[in-house]
Amino acid sequence: MQLEKTENSQSINGKYLKGIMSIFLELYATASRGYKIYFRYTAWFIADLITTPIWILVFLLPILMFLPKEQWNNPTTINFFFWAMVMWDIVGAGLWSFGQAIRREQQTGTLEFLFLTNANRIIMFTRSIFTRGLELTIMFAYMVIVFKLLFGVDIILRNILGVIFILTLGLLIAMGFGEIYGALVLRFKNIGPVTNILEFVILGISGIFFPISRLPDQIRLISLLSPFTYIAEMTRYMAMGIETYLDPGFELILMILMAIIFNAIGFVTILYIEKNLKKTGKLGAY
């Protein structure tokens, strides 16, 4: 079948941006949309500032019950918890960011309109990554103050650049993980309850709150399969100088590989699910 094909004439005279510029345009559009919406829900932002220290206490006090009172202000213990809270945010970013963004598009009815464009299927759902990144930065600074006020302990930061690098890499891995997970949201819609359960499992097995060397052998094997184990290990290594379970260089290479592999798998999965939903006609369903 051959109908007459005509080039879109205006593409020649600069109506469209092409190549890398179009990717930058998508990134800019997604980020600015994300930030605009984020700051227009000011109540959320303020609520986060109020509740963060409270939730930290609610979560840490039950654990402190297992320690003698003298250790409640032990700098190493508290620093361990501090980085665990940062890690928790990263795990949350991984699990929720894409899934939440996709679910939001389903609910607002914008998903079909996004898929009518040729924009990159990953970039269009990265809104939460931008806002999460900002939120993490703000919360990080805020938590340093909160921990000082609550526990009277300074946060140990031996290699600040190393920590920034590891956390960025960690966010990238989390993003890839989130893409795969987001694809499931695209397919199964409301998987909030499953996400909660998975979040707890990940927190439990990934050595977020304690070194994986303290885990039983069989569980440690599983924890070595979790990408979040290495993010937690390397963050503590860079921040507090705590030894990693495997060689730090090897763990770093693993992290880089995971960032690439997870994102590639995530991208392919989203495309696959998009095609599947176009077959079943459920793309617009919410």
Partner 1 sequence: MSRYIGNWIMIITLPYMLAGIFLGVGYAVGGKNASINFYKNTGISDPALYSILGGAIMIATMIILENTGGYIREEQLIGTFELHYLTPNSTLQIWFFHILPIATIMIGIFSITITPILLFKGNLLSFSEWLIAATVIFLSLMPLAGIGLVIAALTVRFKEVWAIVNVINSVITLLSGFYYPLEIFPEMVQTIALLVPSSTAVKILRTIIQHRYTSLNFGPQIILFLVLSMIYLSSGYITYKRWENAARKNGELSKY
Partner 2 sequence: MEKIKAENLRKIFITKERRGIFKGEKRKVEALKGISFAINKGEIFGLLGPNGAGKTTTIKILSTLLLPDDGDAWVNGYHVVKEANKVREIIGVSLYSDRGFYWKLTGYENLMYFAYLYHLNPEYAKKRIKYLLDILELSKDADRLVEEYSTGMKSKLNFARALIHDPEIIFLDEPTIGLDPNSARKIREIIRDLKKEGKTILLTTHNMYEADILCDRIAIINKGKIIALGTPNELKSVVEKDRVIEIQIYGILNGLTDKIRKINGVKRVGLIQEEKSLKNRIKVIMESDDVVPEVLRILVSEKIKVESIKSVEPSLEDVFVYLTGERLEKEE
List C-alpha distances in Å: 123 to 12, 22, 119, 172, 178.
25, 11, 8, 13, 13
Q: How many residues does the chain have?
A: 286
Specify the DSSP element, H or E, that contains 142. helix 127-151
Q: Which does 194 bind (CB under 5 to 8 A by kind): partner 2, partner 1, none?
A: partner 1
Task: Select 26 or 179, whichever has its Cβ closest to partner 2.
Answer: 26
Selection from partner 1, partner 2, none that 148 binds (CB < 5 to 8 A by kind) is none
Q: Specify the DSSP class assigned to residue 273.
A: H
246 touching partner 2, by CB under 8 A: no
HSE-CB at 279 with a 13 A cutoff on CA atoms is 7
Chain residues that interact with partner 1, rule: CB under 8 A:
41, 43-44, 46-47, 50-51, 54-55, 57-58, 61-69, 77, 80, 190-194, 196-197, 200, 203-204, 209-210, 214-215
Look-up: residue for tokens 């495309």? 271
Task: Report the alpha-carbon angle 37-42-44, nearest 5.
Answer: 95
According to CB under 8 A, which one of 10, 12, 68, 217 is a site residue for partner 2? 10
Q: Which does 33 bind (CB under 5 to 8 A by kind): partner 2, partner 1, none?
A: partner 2
The end-to-end CA distance of the chain, in Å, is 36
CB within 8 Å of 146: residues ≥ 6 apart: 52, 53, 56
User: Which of 113, 200, 250, 272 touches partner 2 (CB under 8 A)?
Assistant: 113
Name the binder of 248 from partner 1, partner 2, none, CB < 5-8 A by kind: none
Task: Output the smallest distance, CB 181 to partner 2, in A.
Answer: 23
Task: Assign 149 to helix, strand or coil.
Answer: helix
Q: Which does 196 bind (CB under 5 to 8 A by kind): partner 2, partner 1, none?
A: partner 1
Q: Which does 279 bind (CB under 5 to 8 A by kind): partner 1, partner 2, none?
A: partner 2
Which is nearer to partner 1, 197 or 285 (by Cβ)?
197
**44 binds partner 2 per the rule CB under 8 A:** no
Q: Based on CB atoms, which residue is closest to partner 2, 8 or 218?
A: 8
Count of residues engaged in binding partner 2, rule: CB under 8 A: 42
> Smallest distance, Å, CB 54 to partner 1?
4
d(CA 145, CA 152): 9
User: Within a 10 A sphere around the Cβ of 184, how many other Cβ atoms?
Assistant: 17
